[in-house]
Amino acid sequence: MSTLTRYSAIPYTGPAPTNREPYVPTDTQKMDARGAEIASRIGAEQETGQDLPTLVVRRERIVETLRALKNDLTFTMPLDLWAVDYPRRRQRFDVMYQLYSLQNNERVRLKVPVADGEPIPSSLPVYKGFDWFEREVWDLYGVRFDGHPNLRRILTHEAFQGHALRKDYDPAQRWLCTEKDVAALVPKVDPRFERVDTDFERVTLNLGPSHPATHGTLRIVVILDGEKIIGAEQEIGYLHRCFEKSCETHTYQQAIPFTDRLNYMSAIINNVGYCMTVEKLLGVEAPERAQHVRLILSEFMRIADHLVCIGTNLVDMGALTNFWYLFQPREEIYGLIEACCGARLLPSYLRIGGLAVDVPPNFLENAQRLVNMLPKYIDDVEKLVSRNKIFHDRVVGVAPISAEDAIDFGFTGPCLRACGIPFDVRKSNPYLGYETYDWDVPIAEGGDTYARYLVRMEEMRQSLRILQQAIDRGLPSGPVIIDNPYVALPPKEKVYNEMESLIYHFKLIMHGIQPPVGETYFQVEGGNGELGFYIVSDGTKNPYKVRCRPPCFAIYQAFGQMITGQTIPDAIAALGSLNIIAGELDR
Amino acid sequence: MPIVRVKPGVVRVEPRKLSVMERIYFPAIIGGMFVTLRHLLRNLFNLKRLPIISYPEVKRVYSERFRGRHILTTREDGTTRCVACYMCSTACPAECITIEAGEDERTREKFPVRYDIDLLRCVFCGYCVDACPEDAIYMTGDYEMAIDTRARAVVGLRDLVVPPNFPVEPMGWRPYYGSLEKKGTAGGTGIGQPLRPASYPDDAPPNPDVYRGT
């Protein structure tokens, strides 16, 4: 074959870019029908053409609507609350609520349009889990929630001026926070312990933000009565990196390295969640081979996430050996990731439409070697701790949370499954072909630190089961990224040697991916629970809004309640078992 | 751990009840000691396979895709391949690349007069390599970039450009891995280009964007 024919310019024949046409979700008819049903039951307006049943609610009616949805339609779990700013509209903010029904496995989205300065009644009487979410919307958008008991800034500091996610906020501004700006954080004493008269003096103790046992920049202020915690409050935001604001000023492709830093313990899963959301918006799907690799690496990352969680949790309880045993296989997992994409912790391996490069030729052998090796390490740790009385004394019954509370707080992931609720996004809304694998969702009873340990241990074994099946099936042949020059860069050999491809390459770098106008939500099962991305596109190269639903955020807000009545060492053990990753918590 | 199937697709992990022997604590401790002892003996008689890397005497072997410090490649005549098209700085999510383009007097070709990468801003994502249409920027396996001043983190053409016959084989992230022969591109020669060192002398004030109080 001559060079000319090999590299001849073959014009792209696929669909043309559709960035100026509205986005139409694939299952919009079904969702609209269901939305109409819900709207008629609740008596609310419906917005059609969305990827979820969507209701538009006036702000005065939001609490009663939420209550009706919770009590009559079993939407018991508050998943997410966020806002989008449209400065040209009179009611410039859309405050969005997303709820989930465990019984019917369905989601519903509520939109509450409000003008600048108009307050919304707080939804805390209905869902406890919207506590921090409302604070976040107040902090970043300046939408007030009437009746919220503690409407303070949450992600930014006290000296911060303005509301950072408003479109008219200039991101180049800097605000200096000095010591005198910071008000002393004094937690409220829990009513259960208010009247208890003991011989001890009450002591306020500050834990963190730089404390070896917090594994990240988390700050907890506790009031102690003797050794017992009688009031606790968490403060977050020390690792806030303006993820959502940065996404708005970068292209869709450029946001992938930012997603790495969300839950940096399982970065590939974040990549998968983000890329699949954009792919959903674009109406494209990654090739089979890419999807298979995504699944394998996601499961390895999930195992690495749990290894770190259990390892560090045991270190906090004084069992250092387990830490070494669990970090060794994690190193090997990172070696596998590094062989694929050249970075260990922050891989940025995925691209919208597939993968950056194909996996190395010995990928499956190495994966198999890891799958053979991992059970040994998990078993070692189990042998060390599962019959150990000290471990049992430290974890059984420590920081429990009831299933109702966990749902009400919006728990997802291993922490919810430890309460006996078998909710896993991989089962309820399968993606990447999880439904074709034979595996089980592990649950445990009790919702305490021990149950969370049990669930994580079993989940690693279930992930190994998925991995073994995935390896046995082998990698499908074919490309690893879609052949659509409006989404993915053309191969380098074409870029160097063909005018057509070079132009596509330039266009894509300079003008970016331009998805159709619309909004979409997509969720994956992260290491800590449901990791969702909500993206609004206005047809330009930059996302209009990227919202990340961080699973840690919902979990960590319950921490104060969980440790009240416990002791400080128990609080440390509980904190480790929740696996709070500050990168995801603070974004 | 005992596992009970609750319903299809869901299993319950039953908490382990401690037996009397386990509750008196010592047998469990001794059992745990055996696990540790096994590891100790296995490691003691197998020192070569210890999962320990005695850095810096011994270094980890990374793959040939490793995303380390960048280099700018050169053509056979010694000129940089870079044509200052700004693609890498556009694709960079961290905005760490600063390019100033110049024109060669003789060939009328564009080339970089200044090409600075702020390694403290760089996130080593490899997007610059993916974006380059000229095969001009690669990443190496070099991950030892310790510096003592902020200004030294900004590397310029002096640090980045490598000689023409620089070995590419043990290199890091690059567009392709030895499978493809590069065909000619419409590049000029750029002979006689002046090379400029990194933008800041070591004692100059560092990045002016950084806020440090009033």
Tokens 């869901």 sit at which residue? B10
- A484 secondary structure, DSSP code: -
Helix (H) or strand (E) holding A559: helix A559-563
Which domains are seen in chain A, by residue range?
28-146 (3.30.460.80), 251-551 (1.10.645.10)
Cβ contact A492–B1 (<8 Å): no
Return the pLDDT at B184: 31
- Among residues A376, A363, A365, A282, the alpha carbon closest in space to that of A328 is found at A376
B195 touches chain A (CB under 8 A): no
- A residues 492..511 contacting B (CB < 8 A): 492-493, 495-497, 502, 505-506, 509-510
C-alpha B165, offset from chain centre: 22
Cβ contact A509–B91 (<8 Å): yes
**How many angstroms separate the CA atoms of A236 and A246, rounded?**
19
**Nearest by CB: A360 against B62, B63, B180:** B63
Cβ contact A257–B10 (<8 Å): no
Return the pLDDT at B169: 58
Cβ contact B10–A420 (<8 Å): no
Lowest mean pLDDT across A16-25, A60-69, B174-183 = B174-183
Q: Are A124 and A148 a contacting pair, CB within 8 Å?
A: yes
Cβ contact A356–B124 (<8 Å): no
Give the gap in angstroms from C-alpha A521 to the nearest C-alpha of chain B: 23
- A residues 287..326 contacting B (CB < 8 A): 321, 325
Other C-beta atoms within 10 Å of A182: how many? 12
B208 touches chain A (CB under 8 A): no
In Å, what is the CA distance from A191 to each residue of A195, A560, A561, A566? 8, 13, 12, 15
pLDDT digits (tens, 9 = 90+) for A224-277: 888 888 888 888 888 888 899 889 888 999 999 999 999 888 899 999 999 999
| Long-range CB pairs of A376-380, under 8 A, 24+ apart, other chains included | A377/A307, A377/A325, A377/A326, A377/A328, A377/A329, A378/A457, A378/A460, A378/A461, A380/A325, A380/B35, A380/B39
- Strands A77-85, A54-56: pairing kind: unpaired
Using DSSP's 3-state secondary structure scheme, residue A495 falls into helix
pLDDT digits (tens, 9 = 90+) for A107-164: 899 999 999 888 999 998 899 889 899 999 999 998 999 888 888 888 888 888 889 8
**Nearest by CB: A343 against B22, B67, B185:** B67
Give the gap in angstroms from C-alpha A455 to the nearest C-alpha of chain B: 7
For residue A466, pLDDT beyond 90: yes
Give the gap in angstroms from C-alpha A476 to the nearest C-alpha of chain B: 21
**Nearest by CB: A495 against B1, B127, B133:** B133
pLDDT > 70 fraction of chain B, expressed in percent and rounded: 79
Q: Which residues of A162-175 are buried (b: 16+ CB within 10 A; e: fewer)?
A: ebbbbeebeeeeee
Return the pLDDT at A218: 86
> Quick one: tokens of A236?
């977050």
Return the pLDDT at A489: 86
Alpha-helix runs per DSSP H in A396-523? 403-408, 414-417, 425-428, 449-473, 492-497, 499-511
B74 - beta bridge partners?
A: B80
Model confidence at A25, pLDDT cuts 50, 70, 90, reads: confident
For residue B21, pLDDT beyond 70: yes
Residues of A whose CB is below 8 A from B28? 387-389
> Quick one: tokens of A159?
């000296």
B26 touches chain A (CB under 8 A): no
- Among residues A128, A174, A184, the alpha carbon closest in space to that of A152 is found at A184
- A residues 102..161 contacting B (CB < 8 A): none
Cβ contact A510–B90 (<8 Å): yes
pTM score, whole prediction = 0.87
Which domains are seen in chain B, by residue range?
3-47 (no CATH), 70-160 (3.30.70.3270)
A376 touches chain B (CB under 8 A): no
Give the gap in angstroms from C-alpha B128 to the nearest C-alpha of chain A: 10
Tokens 């045991």 sit at which residue? A314
**Rounded to a whole number, what is the largest CA-CA distance in chain A?**
92
With CA atoms as reference, the chain A residue closest to B36 would be: A321
**Nearest by CB: A427 against B9, B92, B135:** B9
- Among residues A517, A516, A518, A494, the alpha carbon closest in space to that of A504 is found at A494
Cβ contact A496–B133 (<8 Å): yes
**How many angstroms separate the CA atoms of B104 and A498, rounded?**
25
Give the gap in angstroms from C-alpha A75 to the nearest C-alpha of chain B: 22
- A180 secondary structure, DSSP code: G
With CA atoms as reference, the chain B residue closest to A358 would be: B176
Give the gap in angstroms from C-alpha B28 to the nearest C-alpha of chain A: 5
- Strands A518-525, A530-537: pairing kind: antiparallel
**Nearest by CB: B12 against A427, A443, A510:** A443
Model confidence at B183, pLDDT cuts 50, 70, 90, reads: very low
**Rounded to a whole number, what is the largest CA-CA distance in chain B?**
91
Tokens 């004094």 sit at which residue? A186
pLDDT digits (tens, 9 = 90+) for A66-115: 988 888 888 999 999 999 988 888 888 889 999 999 888 888 999 999 99
Helices (H) and strands (E) in chain A, counts: 22, 16
Residues of A whose CB is below 8 A from B1? 382, 386, 454, 457-458
Q: Give chain A's length.
A: 587
B100 touches chain A (CB under 8 A): no
State the angle between helix axes of A363-385 and A288-316 in degrees (0 to 180), rounded to the nearest 10. 20
Residues of A whose CB is below 8 A from B92? 254
**Nearest by CB: A440 against B9, B65, B131:** B9
Q: Give chain B's length.
A: 214
Taking the alpha carbons at both ends of chain A, their separation in whole angstroms is 52
SS3 content of chain B, % helix, strand, coil (to 5): 20, 15, 65
A120 - beta bridge partners?
A: A145
- A residues 405..434 contacting B (CB < 8 A): 420, 422, 427
Model confidence at B47, pLDDT cuts 50, 70, 90, reads: confident
Model confidence at B178, pLDDT cuts 50, 70, 90, reads: very low
- B residues 140..169 contacting A (CB < 8 A): none
Cβ contact A389–B213 (<8 Å): no
Using DSSP's 3-state secondary structure scheme, residue B167 falls into coil
As to burial, measured by CB atoms within 10 angstroms (0-12 exposed, 13-18 middle, 19+ buried), residue A90 is exposed
Residues of B whose CB is below 8 A from A338? 62-63, 65-66
Mean pLDDT of B138-156: 82
Q: What angle do CA A75, A79, A81 make, to 5 degrees?
A: 115
With CA atoms as reference, the chain A residue closest to B124 would be: A343
A485 touches chain B (CB under 8 A): no
Residues of B whose CB is below 8 A from A243? none
**How many angstroms separate the CA atoms of B133 and B131, rounded?**
6
A403 touches chain B (CB under 8 A): no
pLDDT digits (tens, 9 = 90+) for B70-97: 888 887 777 788 888 888 999 999 888 9
Handedness of CA A103, A109, A110, A116 (dihedral sign): positive
Cβ contact B1–A451 (<8 Å): no
Helix (H) or strand (E) holding A394: helix A389-395
Return the pLDDT at B79: 78
Return the pLDDT at A472: 92
Cβ contact B133–A506 (<8 Å): yes
- A residues 330..369 contacting B (CB < 8 A): 331, 338-343, 346, 348, 356-357, 360
Give the gap in angstroms from C-alpha B18 to the nearest C-alpha of chain A: 7
**How many angstroms separate the CA atoms of A461 and A92, rounded?**
48
Reported ipTM: 0.80
Mean pLDDT of A425-431: 90
